[in-house]
Each structure stands twice: as C-alpha cells, then as structure tokens.
Chain A
C-alpha cells in the first residue's frame, strides 16, 4: 500500500494538495514482526497511520490478551491523543509493518494551517473510537464472566454506564 492509499479511509474529501499537506507532517517508521510499538502505561501523544502490515492491540503485557487487530489505512494512538494520559493498551507488530507517525506538534500545525484536513482526521478518529468501543463492549457482553456484573447493577454501575455509552452511544442512568 502506498502512503497516499493509506489515506484513502479519510474519505474522498481530501484533494491531492491536502493529502500532501498531511503526508508532509508524517514520518515513516519500519517495525519488525514482534516489536512493541507502544507499551501500556507509556506516555505517548502522537498518532500512527498503518501503511502496511498488521498490528495487535493488547492488554496485560505479561499475559497478552489481544483486544483488536489493526491493518492498513487504520489509526493507532487516538485515545492518548484525544484524552492525554498513559497508553491504555500495548501495540505490537504482528507482521513487518510500516507506519506513518505524526507527533503532537505536527497535528497542532495541521489544525492551525489546514483546518479542513484536521477535521477529516478528527472525524476518522471519532469513527475509529466508536467502532472500537462497540467491538470491545460486544466482546465483553458475550463474555461469560460478565453475567454477575449485569445481575448486580449497584456494584457495576460505573462499568455498566461505560458499557452503555460504548454500545449505544449514551450513558446509563
């Protein structure tokens, strides 16, 4: 996949000049299969676009539980970027991978100088987040261990409330 093709999921709304403006702010990175790109708890603030390869997002570095797989055209790092704080999950390359990295300063310059492009990036990140929330929520709902929480709403209120918003886009009462 070429770098320009990796940007296709931003929609057809970006013209060639806007794509160039975005690409100019991204640095190519090469990762070997098995390498850890982000470790849960790391302070990261940038954003990665996958140009080639497959990556695994997982919890518990010592006993990895893969919660999603990310491939060409998809983004990584959106949670820490939008809600600054330690990385919520680890990411490793499952195959050799090429990523395009945008650091926070580059994103800030995009927002200042190319608001239309920045808007497309934010929209895409929003969609990515919505999809990951749904996928994770669904996984948990089908999980056997979840039944007790559903039967004990008082204890599980915070948990349920987030599951609600994750699944349905709104908060539980």
Chain B
C-alpha cells in the first residue's frame, strides 16, 4: 500500500481535498521498522516534540497492555495515535512492530510547523482528527446506550 493509497482510502482524511492530501503526504515521513521496535509505550506521555501519528502501510503491529496482554494486531491502513496527537494523556497500551513494517509518520512538530506555513491546511488536519474522535464517541455512546437497554446477550452458538 502506498502512502497516497492509504491516505485516500482513510475515513480520517476523507474530507481533505486531493491537493491537500498531496501536501500532507509530502510532509509525512515513511520509515522502515524491524520486528520488536516499539512505536508507543504504555504509561508514557506523548512527547511534545517527537510524538507522531503513525499510518501503517505494510507489515503488522501488535497492541498490548500489561494487565490484559495482547489486545490485537494492526495492519496496512490503520492509524496509531489519533487521540494522542491532540492530548497529552499517558498511553494506555504499547504498540510493537511484529513483522517488518513500512510506516508513515506525521510528527507533531511537523503539524506545528505547518501551522506557520499553511494555517488552513493544519487547521483542516486537526479538524479531521477531532472529527474522527467525534465519530468514535458517537458510535461508542450509541453502543453503550444500546447495551444498557438490552439484557446481556446469550453466549453465541458457534
């Protein structure tokens, strides 16, 4: 998956014009990662300068938490760190590269620099991040509400 393909296919940046996605692609850095490299460490606060939004292009990344073990695996097209680009809460899980990966990184400092060179694009990127969180919270509240209204489901017949 190329960076252009991943950005165009994403819900996150669907509202950006094609030209804006191109500009964004130009300031993202694609890096290769080896298995075992840690992208995000549970409990650490996002670094104010060095932190980044990650977009997986190739390979696999494991998500795990000390108290719950493995939580799942992320692959091409998945983002890591949407919320953390906007707030400074400690990371709730670790993300470790599981298979050789190519990952596009949008550093926080790049987004800040973009603010000075292209305030409208930077604003639209931040708006896109916030919109994604709003969509998530809407679905989340909807699910929570539905679950509250229903008795617990019977175990599924596999």
Contacts and interface: CB of A to CB of B under 8 A. Distances in A.
B113 interface: no
Interface residues of B, number: 51
Classify the interface of chain B: helix, strand, loop or mixed. Answer: helix
Contacts of B129: 126
Given A83-B134, A118-B123, A173-B72, A136 B83 contact: no
Contacts of A81: 134
B134 A172 contact: no
Interface in A57-102: 59-60, 65, 67, 78-79, 81-83, 85, 88-89
Classify the interface of chain A: helix, strand, loop or mixed. Answer: helix
Contacts of B140: 133, 136-137, 162-163, 166
B78 interface: yes
B136 A59 contact: no
Contact of A119 (B73, B75, B123): B123
A104 interface: no
Contact of A170 (B79, B134, B152): B79
25 contacts: A40-B145, A59-B145, A59-B148, A78-B130, A82-B131, A82-B134, A89-B145, A115-B119, A129-B83, A129-B86, A130-B89, A131-B87, A131-B89, A133-B83, A133-B133, A133-B136, A152-B156, A154-B156, A155-B156, A158-B143, A169-B79, A169-B84, A169-B85, A170-B81, A173-B72
Interface of A: 40, 59-60, 65, 67, 78-79, 81-83, 85, 88-89, 111, 115-116, 118-119, 122-123, 125-127, 129-134, 136-137, 140, 145, 148, 152, 154-155, 158-160, 162-173
